[in-house]
Amino acid sequence: MGVQVLTLFTLIFVWCLIVLAGIDFETRYLPDKLTYPLAGIGLAINSQGLLVSPAQSILGLIIGYLSLWIVAQLFYLIFKKQGMAEGDFKLLAALGAWLGVLMLPLIILLSSLLGSVIGIMLLFKNKESRSFAFGPYLAIAGILVLLYGSTTMQWYLNLSLY
């Protein structure tokens, strides 16, 4: 029964991420009507320890939000313009609630790499600098970490032992 419930919830998680990625790609907006419930469901399922411990989930939510919020504040102080929208903070918070605080560095690394590579490709294609949505890359990274995060972390930790 537990595996079936977890499967249902992870499908909801992936579906929501796909929808959020599509919306953000088209509109550059991540609606609170999806990010808040996604975070709440992550906290709820992890209150039972289905993916990570409750403490990991709560810390993931808080640190996920604050990590991008701090980067956005620093960007604003330096450049005097907004560099990231609040929806990205909320999406990373939801990913942290689902996958835990320990997976946040991997999510940020993967989403930044994906966004950089695709951003450079778009820059060469369009020949003009333009901002783009970061949410789709966060969503893709969240799905990758859900599927391969534990394996990737184990591989990395084994490398660091030698």
The burial of 24, by beta-carbon neighbours within 10 Å (0-12 exposed, 13-18 middle, 19 or more buried), is given as buried
- Domain count across the chain: 1
For 119-128, what is each residue's pLDDT tens digit?
Answer: 888 888 886 6
First-residue to last-residue Cα distance in the chain: 40
Q: CB neighbours of 129 closer than 8 A, spacing ≥ 6?
A: 123
Longest C-alpha distance within the chain, in Å?
53
Query: Interhelix angle for 86-99 vs 54-79, to 10°?
Result: 160
Query: Residue holding tokens 């999806």?
Result: 34
The radius of gyration of the chain's CA atoms, rounded to the nearest angstrom, is: 16
Determine the Cα–Cα distance for residues 28 and 82; give it in Å rounded to an integer.
14
Q: pTM, whole model, 2 decimals?
A: 0.92
Residues 133 and 26 sit within 8 Å (Cβ to Cβ): no
Determine the Cα–Cα distance for residues 96 and 140; give it in Å rounded to an integer.
14
Its domain, for residue 44, covers 2-160
Across the 162 residues of the chain, what is the mean pLDDT of every consecutive 10-residue run?
Answer: 81 98 95 98 96 98 97 94 92 98 96 92 76 92 96 82 62
Q: Which amino acid is at 72?
A: A
